[in-house]
Amino acid sequence: MSIQSVNPRTGEVFGPEIAASKPSDIDSMIAGAVSAFATWSQFSASKRAKVLISLADALDANVGKLVEIADAETGLGVPRLTGEVGRTTFQFRSFAEALNSGDFVAPILDAALDAPVPQGHPKFLKTFRAIGPVAVFGASNFPFAFSVLGGDTASALAAGCSVVIKAHPAHPQTSQLSFEIAKKALADAGAPEGLISLGHGFDFGKSVINDSRISAGAFTGSKAGGRALFDMAQDRQTPIPFYGELGSVNPVVVTESAMSDVSAFAGAYLDSLLMGNGQFCTNPSVLFVPESAEFIAAVQEQLSQRDPAPFLSEATKTLHDNNRAEVIAKTHAQVLQGKSAPTQGFFSSPAVLVVTAQSVLTQPELLATECFGPTGLVVTYANPAQLLTILSKLEGALVGCLFSLKISDLEEQILNALALKAGRVAFNAWPTGVAVTAGQNHGGPYPASTSSLHTSVGTSAITRFLRPVAFQGLPDESYTAVTADTVRGK
């Protein structure tokens, strides 16, 4: 079996056939990852930081080649993809800065306290050790920032782990080129051979996550795919952490006070909804607005001028179209549509489905139906009580948003309701932007992620792959035997 690129703008197959990884290839990759881990995990934080910076420099030096092939495979456009490479290299440099600062990896010394129990205690040295080789599964919608060299790979490498990566079939050439650039950059920077490896094919992913030599898994993608891998990771003889960022229906709540300029708000909503053809896990999936014929008319007027964009793959289009049809059939929604889709390639007309809060209350399961693509659901509510009841029925989400010009008792109730369901709550901001920074949290209650305690974006994502080990009563002269990093503490 082989994998080949498909141009989503035309539906045409192009480029070389890339063979699916064979069992012997998989065994060799994982053996290499185990060997590399033994060396890489002993590199000091500052030494790993230098390697990550070298990798970022190599990606920047090849941005033209990377963007050209990624655009052909994804249809996302040169400006968007160029910016995404910049985000990807920024992630590597951010983790390098975190390593140099010691914020997440430096051991903590807790000096002995000569006092009666329970205040008294012996000396402790708490270290943070790389968990082991990590399996990373690339996403389709971000061929750089959440793929072969995305945040999961960057944070695992920063932690001191080796990485075995499963390429996404929607952009195999982009994945292969990214890997080849990284492999050379790592070798030139003195990293051990086998530190990262890349495989292709459905069976590759299953084999890797089930291999006893893999210590953790990281995934960005669909609920079905992520849950299947999560179950495999837990059903192993030795279960392992599996950090999956899955599907998310993100609620956006609008109050009366935020609707003063209906036309501008409708335009901002559509900009966020249709960004990347709606193929964002942080898409504003469900918009809750007060009953307003004026707002619905403004959305229809502006949506009618929006052009369709290509899906990442035929499979993505098919799933989107089926889910959209299901929601329409079950709710008898008012359908607002954009320009007609071309027949060639993987396109669907953008649409907004308008339903009442009452119809959703009778079928709350519809709030869990993710239309991953250019489709939004607008729910009009009659009163705050109705709104709060619906919010209580939502599943876990990555992001929840509130638009309001004030913070009263109602807004506080809405914020608390959103915080119960989402990993990030944005005030007067759309959900689609996910800043790479220490304060970020990209995760949430299931099914948004399989571990609501961690983030996959931002420098604290490194903690997913660090295992704490406390040394008790260790002589001072033995510190260098257990850590190569600067000790912090008291």
Taking CA atoms, 67 is separated from 60, 91, 173, in Å, by 11, 18, 11
Edge to edge, what strands does the sheet with 286-290 contain? Answer: 334-337, 351-356, 375-381, 286-290, 251-254, 397-403, 422-427
Task: Name the token pair of 437.
Answer: 């920074």
List CB contacts of 478: < 8 A, sequence separation 6 or more: none
Place of tokens 């960022």: 245
Per annotation, catalytic residue among 245, 370, 395, 411: 245
Place of tokens 């009953």: 291
Distance CA 177, CA 165 (A): 13
Place of tokens 């901001």: 429
Under a CB-based contact definition with an 8 Å cutoff, are residues 127 and 42 in contact? no
- Number of helical (H) and strand (E) elements in the chain, helices listed first: 15, 18
Distance CA 178, CA 171 (A): 11
Query: Using alpha carbons only, how large is the chain's radius of gyration in Å?
Result: 24
Under a CB-based contact definition with an 8 Å cutoff, are residues 488 and 109 in contact? yes
Catalytic annotation on 301?
Answer: no
Catalytic annotation on 371?
Answer: no
- Give the largest CA-CA distance in the chain: 79
Q: CA angle 443-444-445, nearest 5°?
A: 145
Burial class (CB in 10 A: 0-12, 13-18, 19+), 281: buried
310: DSSP letter = B
Helix residue spans in 151-261 (DSSP H): 151-159, 172-188, 202-210, 223-235
Under a CB-based contact definition with an 8 Å cutoff, are residues 474 and 125 in contact? yes
Per annotation, catalytic residue among 73, 84, 161, 281: 281
Q: Please give the distance of CA 167 from its chain centroid, rounded to a whole number.
A: 15
Give the residue numbers marked as catalytic.
245, 281
